[in-house]
Amino acid sequence: MENSEIVVGLDIGTTKIVAMVGRRNEFGKIEILGVGKSDSIGVSRGVVTNILQTVESIKTAVAEAEKSSGVEIKVVNVGIAGHHIKSYQHRGIHTRKNMDDVISQQDIDALIDDMYKLAMLPGEQIIHVLPQEYIVDNTSDIKDPLGMMGVRLEANFHIITGNVSAAQNISRCCQLAGLTIAELILEPLASSKAVLSNEEKEAGVALVDIGGGTTDIAIFQDGIIRHTAVIPFGGNIITEDIKNGCSIIKTYAELLKIKHGSALAMDSMENKVVTIPGLRGRPPKEISIKNLAHIIQSRMEEILEYVDYEIKNSGFKDKLSAGMVITGGGSQLKHIRQLTEYITGMETRIGLPNEHISGGMIAKVSSPIFSTSIGLMMMGFDNIRQESKEEMKVKTHSTKERGSFWDKLISQGKKFFDDEETQL
């Protein structure tokens, strides 16, 4: 295998760090070559809070992925999230100099590059510039202006920004771990790549990725990204509520949530209890499953109300025919789909990232907790393919110029000899 065929996704989450190695097969599916997973110690709500601890966690995950895949990992596609993420709508304008030629990729790139030069608030940087629709000489709703004639090229953009120091800390952690970042990618975009179909994006859908520290939202309609948001609450705050409500340590609270937790208290058994071992010779503690569900439901309702507010705030709630797709670790909570439908009134399904993957490791990575890392790989492959297309365009363009030069030379030579024969 050549290294150019291999892409690595690195998901630096609040509860876990995942390094995933894959390559595309002849059918366009991603074959998972190896996975490495470690506990995330130095990250809080999607933001690095301890450089050294995060570096060690990254090294552990990468070493495990290298061992299982047999591939030396040097370049990674990294996800970024956190409550510092913001999104804006902006319109850009590019006036073309050569009006006789059709709109080229260079014109589109120039328009997008101008968006990266927008003045941001102090401490913010642009992470993604996502075109929504183009306007050519007042003709609107154009998805791809390539090859069209026009003087004035405009576009509506969805611009995603993040905190400069947060991005720099991620870069620093990867650098200290001996890695180079190929692309810094917003995590809800990566998750949507892994779990949403093109039909859902066209019909209108809201992706909700419930992670450990944050809940990420991405809204699509007409196949275009319309809104993104990050809510600074996730599965960890539910664990904290269980810990405080049941007066137990965090480790037991997390185990209770995973094994016996439910998002709906009414479906929990009234008299069932779970016994938790006591600390340092203290007697065991009995936890009521019904009370546990009440604690989880209260917090989960709060998170979903935030989600519903963001969807309403986007102005697209009534246009989402495909409803909502929930993924991430929080989507594994029992009865989460039913509670989501009750709170938001939207049809909901659980998003699994198994549609785009193949190979022997499919059973191991087809869980919602791997949606982001698989999406990061997919976007990495897309970027490689886009770069290859642009290189081919440059080569083709130079070949055409070279061909036209030789055509002119041969034509001139032929004309010269024709003129000589005429004179004779």
What is the model's pLDDT at position 298?
A: 95
Residue 69 has pLDDT above 50, yes or no: yes
Q: At a CB cut-off of 8 Å and minimum separation 6, what does 248 contact?
A: 242, 256, 276, 285, 287
Asked if residue 94 lies in contact with residue 111, where contact means CB atoms within 8 angstroms, the answer is yes
Split at pLDDT 50, 70, 90, the class of 403 is very low
Domain-wise residue ranges, the chain: 86-160, 236-297
Residue 2 has pLDDT above 50, yes or no: no
Question: Average of pLDDT values for 260-289?
Answer: 83
- CA neighbours within 13 Å on the CB side: how many for 399? 6
Split at pLDDT 50, 70, 90, the class of 404 is very low
Order across the sheet with 30-39: list the strands. Answer: 180-186, 75-80, 6-12, 16-24, 30-39, 357-358
Question: Average of pLDDT values for 182-199?
Answer: 94
Asked if residue 39 lies in contact with residue 83, where contact means CB atoms within 8 angstroms, the answer is no
Question: Average of pLDDT values for 36-60?
Answer: 94
Between 389 and 20, the higher pLDDT residue: 20
Tokens 């061909």 correspond to 403
Question: Average of pLDDT values for 26-38?
Answer: 89
Asked if residue 111 lies in contact with residue 134, where contact means CB atoms within 8 angstroms, the answer is no
Rounded to 5°, the CA angle 361-364-368 comes to: 125
What is the model's pLDDT at position 254?
A: 93
What is the model's pLDDT at position 401?
A: 42
What is the model's pLDDT at position 358?
A: 80
Residue 262 has what DSSP assignment? Answer: B
Residue 92 has pLDDT above 90, yes or no: yes
Q: Is residue 303 helix, strand or coil?
A: helix
User: How far is residue 117 from each of residues 85, 129, 225, 258, 402, measured CA to CA in Å?
Assistant: 18, 11, 21, 46, 35
pLDDT in tens, 134-167: 999 989 989 999 999 999 999 999 999 999 999 9
Residue 390 has pLDDT above 90, yes or no: no
Architecture of the domain defined by 86-160: 2-Layer Sandwich (3.30)
Between 383 and 332, the higher pLDDT residue: 332
Angstrom distance (rounded) from CA 373 to CA 356: 12
Q: What is the CATH number that goes with domain 236-297? A: 3.30.420.40
